[in-house]
Structure 1
Amino acid sequence: MDNRKQPRQGGMSRSLQALGRLKTGEMNKTEAAYGEYLKNRQLVGHIAWFKFEGIKLRLADNTFYTPDFAVMLADGSMELHEVKGFWTDDARVKTKVAASMYPFQIIGVTAKTKKSGGGWAYERF
């Protein structure tokens, strides 16, 4: 019996798929925790509205950037929040390109360790 991984429908084998990818619309643990944080900020009036994967920006032909959260602040200004456990070079480049092309403030968000006090660290693009 052949124990090698068999190609899936469409010819892509499991070994070629990106690790840790979830279906569109599904949050990972870090994104879910940040969504709860945004919900709490909304309850106290700092945020008017937010939506997970609510905006998709075209960067080039067949190249898109979908930030994790579209966020409308209480003053009506819009921000796009990109939540990462860690940044890859590809993700950082795509985020910088989107920030240079569109008039949104894009904010990179990473979780701080409990050792460093917890909460969130922010980087503006």
Structure 2
Amino acid sequence: MTAQRALQALGRLKVGTMNKTEAAYAATLDGRRHAGEVAWFKFEGMKLRLADNTFYTPDFAVMLSDGALEMHEVKGFWQDDARAKIKIAADLYPMRFVAVRVKPKKEGGGWHIEEF
């Protein structure tokens, strides 16, 4: 195990528990729900099969008010396997896949969105 991997493992939360960035994004989604843009969202609400014994669980399953289903991934930084999994999922499933990360305050704050 590399030193970086060991440090990351120390910070892992139990399955189903949001980190601070995910909780902040959930609040954003809740605001969008109250505004009528989002009909429903669920943290770790879906598990997608990519191949035999290979799965991807997006951070948020999001249903927009028009019924469209999206998968949202909240990232502080990317590891190679996570980026590969979201790209594969986007190729396999007929949904919009987006990754969001916090924009620094010096860039105006909010969320940077990357679509797959």
- TM-score, normalised via structure 1 length: 0.84
- Greater fraction helix: 2
Which residue does 2:13 correspond to in 1? 22
Unaligned 5+ residue runs, structure 1?
Answer: 1-14
> Which amino acid letter does the alignment assign opposite residue 100 of structure 2?
V
Are 1:87 and 2:78 matched, yes or no?
Answer: yes
**Alpha-carbon distance between aligned partners in 2 of 1:70 and 1:21, rounded to the nearest angstrom:** 21
Which residue does 2:49 correspond to in 1? 58
Identity %: 68
Cα offset, 1:19, TM superposition:
3.8
Cα offset, 1:47, TM superposition:
0.4
Cα 1:19–1:95 shift into 2, 3 Å: farther
3-state DSSP of counterpart to 2:66? coil
- Alignment coverage as a number of residue pairs: 111
Which residue does 2:89 correspond to in 1? 98
**Per-residue CA distance 1:19-76 (angstroms, 9 max, x = gap):** 4221110000100000000000000101000000000001112111000000000111
Which residue does 1:68 correspond to in 2? 59
Which residue does 1:123 correspond to in 2? 114
- CA RMSD in angstroms comes to 1.5
**Alpha-carbon distance between aligned partners in 2 of 1:26 and 1:86, rounded to the nearest angstrom:** 18
1:45 equivalent among 36, 40, 55: 36
Stretches (4+) displaced over 2 A: 15-20
- TM-score, normalised via structure 2 length: 0.90
Cα 1:19–1:98 shift into 2, 3 Å: farther
> Which amino acid letter does the alignment assign opposite residue 89 of structure 1?
D
> Which amino acid letter does the alignment assign opposite residue 105 of structure 2?
K
